[in-house]
Amino acid sequence: MHNFNSGPSILPKEVFQQASEAVLNYNNSSLSILEIGHRTPMFESILHEAQSLVKELMALDNNKQVLFLHGGASTQFFQIPMNLLDEKAMAAYLDCGTWGTKAIKEAKLFGKVDVVASSKDRNYSYIPKDYQVPDNAVYFHYTTNNTIEGTQMHAIPETNVPLVADMSSDILSMSLDFNRFSLIYAGAQKNIGAAGVNIVIVDEAMLGKVSRPLPSMMDYREHIKNGSMLNTPPVFAVFVCMLTLRWLKAKGGIAGMEGINRKKAALVYDTLDSLPLFQAPVAKEDRSLMNVVFRIDDPVLEKEFQQICRDNNMYGFTGHRSVGGFRLSLYNALPYESVVAVTDLMKDFAKKKG
């Protein structure tokens, strides 16, 4: 079985094994991980290890706080401007796809938004390059990897404005200076763990500057003060994150994983570029290492190839419902052997049908 799902997505086999054992009996306690108290030493050690591993793997400075919060990245679309953007202030946003568009919509509820650039004119098939971030913006928000459109930012934008990044689909997949960001957020269900928890990494210096009163559950300062346990956290989801972070560290950390990810992506893109039957719409310099999108112009052949993929135990192969075509998600846990299998299938199909 080859799992190319875009999220929730593939997890390491070791994590499945360890998590399944913990469901029956966590750490020889005779209790399931699903029933342990969240304010007990058993869970507190899990949470603290997960936070510590994030800090270690990303080489974060002491002023960065790691939070495990409820919900996915979509919650952060409004929680971020609620905490950082005053009504009369302005935030800058880059529009490079579906998730950036949704984040912009939510931010406009709380203050002024300057969309500094957009790639909508070419169906989000590239990343804008020549744009200016206004110096008076309270922050600049962008999506590092566009899961649906298959584009990725391969370098951190040069600006003096505080950076806020949605890293949901490429966090921990490539080396970056994560300390250059004032706030990073990511839904866990791609490279970190199971669905149901969201990671937020925030510089405390960014907080407490808006004039509006904040509901406690929406206030990052309250979550920091309560150590990510302002209310009952998603215990099992956090546990799976901790196991996945352990796995990543054992694999050589982010740098080790980046080498494997580049090898996987290179094989797929080299295959696509060598086979005229398949069309890859994304600008080559902006191609994602995580989500490869492509299509076949002939609808009959496209359906036939979809069926062949299913017959060969390949799952999550179809593109997002809004764009169609195909999508291969090459997240950290996807084995290189799965990429070899799918590219061999593509070559064989193109030879017969091309």
Would 54 be classed as within a structural domain?
yes
What are the distances in angstroms from CA 170 to CA 151, 185, 214, 242, 332? 11, 11, 30, 17, 9
Q: Is residue 109 part of a domain?
A: yes
End-to-end CA distance of the chain: 26
Q: Show which of 250, 283, 300 is a domain's final residue.
A: 250
Beta strands 197-203 and 64-70 are antiparallel
What range defines the domain where residue 267 resides? Answer: 253-353
Are 150 and 176 in a shared domain?
A: yes
Using the Cα atoms of residue 224, residue 227, residue 231 and residue 236 in order, give the sign of their dihedral.
positive
CATH of the domain at 231: 3.40.640.10
How confident is the model at residue 322, as a pLDDT? 81
Q: How far is CA 81 from CA 63, 77, 135, 139, in A?
A: 20, 7, 18, 9
* Rounded percentage of the chain residues whose pLDDT exceeds 70: 100
pLDDT in tens, 209-228: 999 999 999 999 999 999 99
pTM: 0.96
Residue 2 lies in a domain: no
Q: Are residues 130 and 224 in the same domain?
A: yes
In a domain, residue 77? The reply is yes
pLDDT digits over 234-264, tens only?
999 999 999 999 999 999 999 999 999 999 9
Q: Which of 250, 273, 305 marks a domain boundary?
A: 250
**What is the Cα–Cα distance from 290 to 302, expressed in whole angstroms?**
22
Query: Is residue 3 domain-resident?
Result: no
Would you state the pLDDT for residue 71?
Answer: 83
In the prediction, which pLDDT does 324 show? 85
The domain that holds 341 is classified in CATH as 3.90.1150.10
Residues 271 and 202 grouped into a single domain: no
Residues 237 and 316 in one domain: no
Residue 82 maps to a domain: yes
In this structure, the answer to whether residues 33 and 153 fall within a common structural domain is yes
Domain assignment present for residue 1? The answer is no
354 band by pLDDT with thresholds 50, 70 and 90: confident
Q: Are 6 and 223 in contact (CB under 8 A)?
A: no
pLDDT digits (tens, 9 = 90+) for 146-203: 999 999 999 999 999 999 999 999 999 999 999 999 999 999 999 999 999 999 999 9
**Residue 97 resides in a domain:** yes
Total of domains in the chain: 2
Section 106-113 average pLDDT:
98
**Domain end call among 226, 250, 274:** 250
| Residue numbers annotated as active site | 99, 166, 190
Q: How far, in Å, CA of 82 to CA of 67, rounded?
A: 17
